Amino acid sequence: KNQVEQSPQSLIILEGKNCTLQCNYTVSPFSNLRWYKQDTGRGPVSLTIMTFSENTKSNGRYTATLDADTKQSSLHITASQLSDSASYICVVSAISPLVFGKGTRLSVIA
């Protein structure tokens, strides 16, 4: 069964610190992997999309990595800001449709 597992479930960090969120998937066949940011009560907003051949992709302070062999991805957030507080969702694409992880709830505190 196609599944996406994320860890940790929640995370609290101090403003200015870095953090890394993890994603493991068992989706086959694999097409691409996406990271979304979802603010409370809002729709997901795309941060990165990576295909099978891409190992890393950056979007400002967000850097995603992908290891297609081990079926793992990470999202690294550098120099966190209060506005980074949100859920970060790993989404894997098979042929279709998208398979969502449950997300990591990140809280950045001053």
Partner 1 sequence: EPEVTQTPSHQVTQMGQEVILRCVPISNHLYFYWYRQILGQKVEFLVSFYNNEISEKSEIFDDQFSVERPDGSNFTLKIRSTKLEDSAMYFCASSAYKGESYEQYFGPGTRLTVT
Per CB under 8 A, does 44 bind partner 1?
A: yes
Instruction: Name the residue among 30, 25, 28, 20 with its Cα closest to residue 88.
Output: 20
Select the span of 16-24, 61-69, 78-86, 98-106 touching partner 1 (CB under 8 A): 98-106
The span from the CA of 12 to the CA of 94, in Å, is 32
Looking at 15-23, 36-44, 64-72, 76-84, which segment touches partner 1 (CB under 8 A)?
A: 36-44
**Which residues, in sequence order, are bridge partners of residue 66?**
73
CB of 43 to partner 1, least distance (A): 3
Which residues have CB under 8 Å from 71's CB, separation 6+?
A: 24, 25, 26, 27, 30
* Among 23, 84, 86, 103, contact with partner 1 (rule: CB under 8 A): 103
List residues near partner 1 by CB under 8 A: 31-32, 41-46, 49, 51, 89, 91, 93-98, 100-103
